[in-house]
Structure 1
Amino acid sequence: MLFFKKKKIPLNEFFPQGFVDIHSHLLPGIDDGAKDLETSIALIQKMASYGIKNFITTPHILGDVYPNTPEVIKRKLKEVTDELKRRNLLDISISAAAEYMMDEKFTDLIEKAQLLTLKDNLVLVEMSYFSPPINLYEILFQIQLKGYKPILAHPERYNSYHNNFEEFFKLKRAGCLFQLNLLSLTEQYGKGVQKTAEKLLKENLYDFVGTDHTSSNAFRIVAKNSNPKEFKKY
């Protein structure tokens, strides 16, 4: 369980040693994150200054909007890792998976069983903020039937569930793990998201945390209200 006290702390002390950010958008030019290689490196260096030096970055795979493939993602990852080495930034660890939108094209990818995982069989998934897919539970079943375990990104941001909290318990019973966006603990995404995140924390429903980092405006507002000594390392 995560427990937060209102206490101002240095930002670079907020994250526990060995913290791995499992959700970010740091690869250049393939989604709504870093626009180019220079931006990728700048974002990573900024994150490192906050105390985050281990990344499993997760570019979107979303229909025709971000039609990324494992080959594209691995190629972009190599660009970043090569540049980190060139700049002698050897204390940074970065690998790549993906954040999959649960849509019709995703069901085709499930059938092929060629998903990029965070680790072992863990797959990061998302859905529309406003309306879950009609066949959501069928998709979750198919994911697990193929031997994967779904981690639902930022469940607190799905507006359609804010007034129906029982849906979160239903998702957990269906085999979903939950990943908290750290900025959801602030008003960054709105008070409704913040309130839902706090309730999910209270119910001990989160399994992982991540930054969902896309730009350099990240976490100073989180650190103002948090105590890293009581931040559970997952």
Structure 2
Amino acid sequence: MYERLKRLIRPEKNSSEPLTTDLHSHLVPGIDDGAKDLETSLSLVRSLYDLGYRRLITTPHIMMHRFPNSRDTILHGLDTLRTAVDAEGIPVSIDAASEYYVDEHFRELIEKEELLTFGENEVLFELSYVIPPIDLETIVFELQGRGYQPVLAHPERYLYMHKDEEAYPRLKEKGVRFQVNINSLGGYYSKPVQKAARRLMDQGWISYLGSDTHHRRHIDALTKTLHTDVVAKVQRNNTLRNNTL
């Protein structure tokens, strides 16, 4: 199946342009496990700017058992963050979507068509790290049926997918786009996660790279990884969509 998908999903172009748009971060202050306050948010935004980012699409969690955020709480927090960034004179544009955890609440939001999106009506969603979802393909179908483009956050971090040779190609055949964490490629999370990220890179299946910035440690790791040629390697074999957002 891998070889068949490599023929079906070919990069549209080779790109060596700088990565100036980040998809996936937790910069809105005080609403999830990301920036704890506005001061921290501003420090993280400034650091991302210093790394070359000029557009940030931040994605607070909506996870009802831990972070019961809503469209309103996220957009209100975004307004606060934008105002502070402007006051600090940091020349970065910031928008917000969400990183949706797949649970019953997520399915209710799909049905109501009340999801925060980016790009081409795209929705970033995540899964449990330890329990394989039993109805993932059904959820993908429901998203697509409502006109959404599903984007799976950090697929390389779901260890159960490492053991299933068909997991990634099956999702690609269903039209799911993959957002891989840059720090995964640099080995920040673990060697198995790094191996899976590089496998996705080699197959040409990465649509988005994300910083997944929560705190200073992520920035420190990101700085080290971006000082390697990893982004250029991804661009040689993948059609990255970051800078089209």
Structure 2 length normalisation: TM-score? 0.85
Shift of 1:157: 0.4
Q: Closer, same or farther in 2 for the Cα pair 1:227/1:151, shift >3 Å?
A: closer
The answer to whether the aligner puts 1:32 opposite 2:22 as a matched pair is: no
Higher mean C-alpha displacement, 211-220 vs 146-155: 211-220
Q: Extract unaligned runs of 5+ from structure 2.
A: 1-10
Alignment of 1:209-220 (within 5 A): 209-217=209-217, 218=219, 219-220=222-223
Shift of 1:16: 4.4
Shift of 1:224: 4.4
Whole-Å Cα distance in 2 between the matches of residues 188 and 228 of structure 1? Answer: 15
RMSD over aligned CA atoms reads 1.7
CA contact (8 A) 1:22 1:57 kept: yes
Partner of 1:151: 151
Whole-Å Cα distance in 1 between the matches of residues 227 and 58 of structure 2? Answer: 25
Q: How many residues align?
A: 220
Q: Closer, same or farther in 2 for the Cα pair 1:228/1:199, shift >3 Å?
A: closer
CA contact (8 A) 1:18 1:54 kept: no
Partner of 2:225: 222
Q: Closer, same or farther in 2 for the Cα pair 1:201/1:18, shift >3 Å?
A: closer
Letter in 1 for 2:204: N
The answer to whether the aligner puts 1:72 opposite 2:73 as a matched pair is: yes
Q: Decide which structure has greater helix share.
A: 2
CA contact (8 A) 1:56 1:94 kept: yes
Whole-Å Cα distance in 1 between the matches of residues 182 and 68 of structure 2? Answer: 27
Partner of 1:203: 203
Shift of 1:112: 0.4
Whole-Å Cα distance in 2 between the matches of residues 67 and 117 of structure 1? Answer: 18
Q: Closer, same or farther in 2 for the Cα pair 1:231/1:157, shift >3 Å?
A: closer
Q: Closer, same or farther in 2 for the Cα pair 1:120/1:229, shift >3 Å?
A: closer
Q: Extract unaligned runs of 5+ from structure 1.
A: 2-14
Whole-Å Cα distance in 2 between the matches of residues 41 and 19 of structure 1? Answer: 18
Percent of aligned pairs with the same amino acid: 40
CA contact (8 A) 1:24 1:214 kept: yes
Partner of 2:6: none
Whole-Å Cα distance in 2 between the matches of residues 27 and 92 of structure 1? Answer: 14
- Provide Cα deviations, 1:142-192, integer angstroms capped at 9, x if missing partner: 011111010000000000011223110001112210011000012211000
Shift of 1:229: 5.3
Letter in 1 for 2:209: V
Q: Secondary structure at the match of 1:207?
A: strand
Structure 1 length normalisation: TM-score? 0.89
Partner of 1:179: 179
- Provide Cα deviations, 1:77-119, integer angstroms capped at 9, x if missing partner: 0101111122222x11100000001111111111100100012
